[in-house]
Amino acid sequence: MNRAQWNQLADTFETEVCDIAREETRDQLGRFVRAVALSPKTSVLVDLGCGVGSFIRKFHHRFHDVTAVEFAPRIIARAKKNCTDVPRVRWLTMDIPRSAKAIGTVADLTVCMNVITSPSHAKRNSIWKTVAQVTKPRSHALIVVPSLESERMVRRVGRETPAALAGGLVQRDDAVQKHFERGELVSTLSRAGFAPMRIARIYYPWSKEGMRKPRSGGGKGPWDWVCLARRNSGGRARKP
């Protein structure tokens, strides 16, 4: 989806978009954030594609400074409103790949949640590259991406004829979204210059799939992959 399409979702963000920091059902993000050594006196958070600011609202107290990047002006306006009482946030209304220069290599934790979903390999690459550029060596990135395994489960449960999911590309309403298998996420992060430390399922409600909880076969529900990864200490990242 492009900037204009995202902008149109600003008013209905909560109903139309999976805002994982608000909707996850098992505090997985909290567990992953607590696994990183952070100081509210010094640590820097960079949120790439911050949406309406739900992660910042929930976790800002663990950081001293926050930089939030979002290219849809009406969405970032909502994030600012939701975070009026959060101190020291720098809001950047721009495309993520352009933000690396403005931000610098400052993040103790970079989060990028459900943003690296473009069907274009080149566009995804430029965001992976930015994640690496803004994260300090040996510091961490917290990445959430749609799960291809979950998509297959949801289709099985919904008795849908399996459509081709070549390259992990899935049609969602009007948009095609890249989904990742667990192994692909691990190898992509490695190529981007990160060592994956922890990876887990982060569950969200069935209603986000437009479905009721099934009586059987649905496990704990649909999920995204969440990964905590450590930035390598030196050298250039290879192209993901």
Ligand X SMILES: C[S@@+](CC[C@H](N)C(=O)[O-])C[C@H]1O[C@@H](n2cnc3c(N)ncnc32)[C@H](O)[C@@H]1O
Binding site for ligand X (CB under 6 A): 6, 17, 19-21, 49-51, 54, 69-72, 75, 95-96, 113-115
| 122 Cβ contact list (under 8 Å, min separation 6) | none
Q: How far apart are CA 107 and CA 32, in angstroms?
A: 16
CB nearer to ligand X: pick between 96 and 157: 96
CB 184 to ligand X: min, Å: 19
Bridge partners of 146, per DSSP, are: 224
CB nearer to ligand X: pick between 18 and 138: 18
CB 134 to ligand X: min, Å: 13
Q: How far apart are CA 14 and CA 146, in angstroms?
A: 17
Phi first, then psi, for residue 7 (nearest 5°) are -55, -40
CB nearer to ligand X: pick between 56 and 137: 56
Q: How far apart are CA 182 and CA 18, in angstroms?
A: 19
CB 130 to ligand X: min, Å: 9
Name the token pair of 156.
């099985």
Question: Which residue has its beta carbon closest to ligand X?
Answer: 51
Q: Closest by alpha carbon to 211, among 219, 196, 203, 221? A: 221
CB 216 to ligand X: min, Å: 30
Amino acid found at 55 = F
CB nearer to ligand X: pick between 20 and 100: 20
Question: Roughly how many angstroms between the first and final C-alpha of the chain, as a whole number?
Answer: 21
CB nearer to ligand X: pick between 20 and 83: 20
CB 123 to ligand X: min, Å: 7
Dmax over CA atoms of the chain, in Å, equals: 53
CB nearer to ligand X: pick between 14 and 65: 14
CB 149 to ligand X: min, Å: 19
CB 196 to ligand X: min, Å: 19
| 120 Cβ contact list (under 8 Å, min separation 6) | none
Q: How far apart are CA 232 and CA 127, in angstroms?
A: 17
CB nearer to ligand X: pick between 39 and 207: 207
Task: State the sign of the Cα–Cα–Cα–Cα dihedral 151, 53, 100, 64.
Answer: negative
